[in-house]
Amino acid sequence: MKKYTTLLLFSLGITGCAIKWDYPTTTKKSLEERCLPLLERIMDIQKDRDTARADITDKILEFESGIITRDQFHNYRLQWLSTEDELRNHVTRLYDRAYRKGCL
């Protein structure tokens, strides 16, 4: 039994020495420094998307209530689709960058 315990401790010691410990250094940016600006920008864009979605929902209700015409609604809808497409593509690129940087 003593022989196995010694062998086990020796094996753990060798394995432990082989592991590369990656301690943070002063030259590496902290996770917060790397990620916070990127994540804040993602949140800002998502907020803009929520606002645009609420605006188009209001226009849908106005159209259904007869307050705006079909043409007016069509123009609002096209504008919203264009804005949503642009914001969605931008935030997708930011999410991709955040994944690559290890932020998510």
Split the chain (104 residues) into runs of 10 and give each run's mean pLDDT. 48 49 57 91 97 98 98 98 98 96 91
Q: How many residues does the chain have?
A: 104
d(CA 13, CA 104): 34
pLDDT value of position 24? 52
What pLDDT is recorded for position 9? 47
Tell me what pLDDT residue 3 has: 52
Query: Are 68 and 59 within 8 A, CB to CB?
Result: yes
Q: CA-based Rg of the chain, rounded to a whole angstrom? A: 27
Res 14: pLDDT: 45
Place of tokens 């007016």: 72
